[in-house]
Structure 1
Amino acid sequence: MNFISIRIITDDVKRLAGFYETITGLAATWYSDDFAEIATPAGTLAIASTRTMALFKAGAARPADNHSVIVEFRVGDVDAQFRALADVIEVVQAPTTMPWGNRSLLLRDPDGNLVNVFTPVTAEAIRKFDR
């Protein structure tokens, strides 16, 4: 099995895709007005309209109702990312070094989903991500 992507269901694909374009610096690829993807070297963030859920079981997903998943992006310098984005994002926690060796910036996207932008800073964390 190969992990490929995470899909976020939203009422406003354009707004959410714009947010993720801003924080990643990557352009979304649009497949329809209801579906866009932001591809990174490690995986893809898919963003889909609630209208796409008509193709699945009714009630399977509810937009802006996540309370347990954190979308994570590794960056070269989380502190620089924080300085660049501080005025355009909702910061939950400024960059903080975590016990497992990552320096993490915790944000909320426009739908309220948690987003962790991090840089490994300890030797062990750096080794983990340089596989």
Structure 2
Amino acid sequence: MQFASVRIITDDVPGLTGFYEALTGLEAQRVAPVFAVFAAPTGTLAIGDVVTAPFVDATNRSGSAAIVEFLVDDVEAAFAHAVTLGAEAVLEPATMPWGNRSAIVRDPAGTLVNLFRPPAA
């Protein structure tokens, strides 16, 4: 078995794709009007319309059990940037008990996003 990607299901593929393009600085591959892919050397994030997974309730904006995580150079700057893009602040930048500096936001579709940096070596 080989890990392929994490896919977020939404009723607004263009809007959520634009959010992640602005947040990450990556350009999505829009493989179809109902599907976009961010392929990076460290992982792949897919964004799919509700028609690609009709068994998922994409109207539930309370979040999910998944957290999308991004390793960033500056947690405070990434957090501020995400909030200016319309993300909801969930956890202000803080140092976790295991040493990571972390901030959590909720993207426009309700998915939790962890912006983190491990402690300096």
TM-score for the superposition, normalised by structure 1: 0.81
One-letter identity of the residue aligned with 1:73: F
Kindly indicate which of the two structures has a greater share of residues assigned to helix: 1
Residue 122 of structure 1 deviates from its aligned partner by 4.9
Cα separation, partners in 2 of 1:19 and 1:91, compared to 1, 3 Å: same
Paired residue total: 118
Say whether the 8 Å CA contact 2:38–2:46 is kept in structure 1: yes
- Quote the residue 1:67 is aligned against: 64
Residue 51 of structure 1 deviates from its aligned partner by 1.4
- Quote the residue 1:39 is aligned against: 39
Say whether the 8 Å CA contact 1:64–1:112 is kept in structure 2: no
TM-score for the superposition, normalised by structure 2: 0.87
* Runs of at least 5 residues in structure 1 that lack an aligned partner in the other structure: 124-131
- Quote the residue 1:96 is aligned against: 94
The 5 Å alignment of 1:1-131 reads 1-53=1-53, 59=55, 61-65=56-60, 66-88=63-85, 89-123=87-121
Which range is displaced more, 114-123 or 78-87?
78-87
Say whether the 8 Å CA contact 1:102–1:122 is kept in structure 2: no
- Quote the residue 1:129 is aligned against: none
Q: Which has the higher contact order (CA 8 A, sep 6+)?
A: 2
One-letter identity of the residue aligned with 1:44: T
Say whether the 8 Å CA contact 2:82–2:105 is kept in structure 1: no
* Structure 1 outlier segments of 4+, above 2 Å: 64-67, 82-89
- Secondary structure (helix, strand or coil) at the match of 1:18 reads helix
Q: Identity of paired residues, percent?
A: 50
Cα separation, partners in 2 of 1:21 and 1:104, compared to 1, 3 Å: same
